[in-house]
């Protein structure tokens, strides 16, 4: 089984990309987590374009190929970062056949603030539900992300790592039920 990880951050030292990598460390060996790194290549959404950009076609293919999706989002201005929302707008068209339809999806988030991107996670879950994804309702807000990871990239707080493991296990289980 493979899970596609998508970080909503463009930063090189992104805490959300680190959160995806921490999730990869808690997955069993039977599950491969591939972190997609093409967010910066997605152009602004424009439904009038005659040809869908190659970067969007590639993202759609990665999502379609994955058994499940794990998104990690920071919070910008109390919501989802524009680049991530833009990519989802592209992928959501055409609505009836978008690759998120009936796909198991989980959302986690990290921020340097005290709330761990909870609003962005909630907004992202709403968008993904509207797109037809099967969205896990559990939250994982990683607050004060600049202090949350150890040198090996694992979460310092064992309770956060346990919650991350539960989300990862739930995503794997949901994906297995979908395949059956």
pLDDT of residue 28: 81
pTM here is: 0.95
Q: Distance between alpha carbon 81 and the CA centroid of its chain, in Å?
A: 12
Per-residue CA distances from 151 to 18, 25, 76, 170 (Å): 11, 14, 26, 27
Q: What digits encode the pLDDT tens for the residues 56-109?
A: 999 999 999 999 999 999 999 999 999 999 999 999 999 999 999 999 999 999
143: helix, strand or coil:
coil
Taking every pair of Cα atoms in the chain, the longest distance, rounded to a whole number of angstroms, is 50
Q: Cβ–Cβ contacts within 10 Å for residue 152, how many?
A: 7
Q: What digits encode the pLDDT tens for the residues 100-126?
A: 999 999 999 999 999 999 999 999 999
Q: What digits encode the pLDDT tens for the residues 1-36?
A: 899 999 999 999 999 999 999 999 988 888 899 999
pLDDT of residue 174: 84
Question: Would you place residue 179 in the very low, low, confident or very high pLDDT band (cuts 50, 70, 90)?
Answer: low
Catalogue all structural domains in the chain, each as residue range(s) with its CATH number: 2-179 (3.40.50.360)
């Amino acid at each position: 089984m493979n899970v596609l990880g998508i970080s909503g951050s463009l930063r090189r030292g992104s805490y959300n990309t680190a959160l995806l990598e921490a999730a990869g460390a808690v997955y069993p060996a039977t599950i491969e987590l591939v972190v997609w790194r093409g967010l910066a290549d997605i152009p602004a959404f424009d439904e009038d374009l005659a040809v869908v950009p190659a970067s969007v076609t590639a993202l759609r293919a990665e999502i379609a190929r994955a058994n499940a999706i794990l998104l990690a989002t920071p919070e910008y201005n109390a919501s989802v970062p524009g680049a991530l929302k833009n990519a989802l707008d592209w992928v959501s068209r055409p609505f009836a056949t978008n690759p998120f339809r009936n796909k198991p999806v989980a959302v986690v988030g990290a921020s340097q603030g005290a709330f761990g991107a909870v609003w962005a996670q909630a907004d992202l879950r709403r968008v993904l539900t509207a797109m037809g994804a099967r969205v896990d309702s559990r939250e994982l807000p990683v607050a004060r992300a600049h202090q949350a990871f150890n040198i090996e990239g694992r979460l310092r707080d064992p309770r956060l790592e346990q919650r991350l493991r539960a989300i990862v296990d739930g995503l794997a289980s949901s994906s297995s039920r979908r395949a059956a």
